[in-house]
Structure 1
């Protein structure tokens, strides 16, 4: 998996390779996919993004 992102000082490229298995990501037709930071963390931790349950956080009304 290669991750390319931009920060004020320039572009950063990360690369990670698994010894066994594979990342559970469904790429788009072009092979590229934009992810949120949370989705990226789930994928790198081996959690399938489509099956992850997400809950809304409580927000106290002002």
Structure 2
């Protein structure tokens, strides 16, 4: 389970998420705190292993 504290300017919000399968791949921490960009947080919450991302080729033209 991962828990995220987020300050929205008026108070703290607590978000929690549990994966049905697998584990979250957590970056190394310095001093117990982790600073993530919005993109990094999105990848983490999707359960994607950011150390070995897979490229997906999508068709450019359909039909």
**Could you state the TM-score of these two structures normalised by the residue count of structure 2?**
0.63
Return 5+ residue gaps in structure 1 as ranges. 54-62
Q: Which runs of 4+ in 1 moved over 4 A?
A: none
Matches within 5 A, 1:23-42: 23-28=24-29, 30-42=31-43
Write the distance in 2 (CA, Å) between the matches of 1:31 and 1:18: 22
Confirm or deny: 8 A CA contact 2:19 2:47 kept in the other structure. no
Match of residue 45 from structure 2: 44
TM-score, structure 1 length as denominator? 0.64
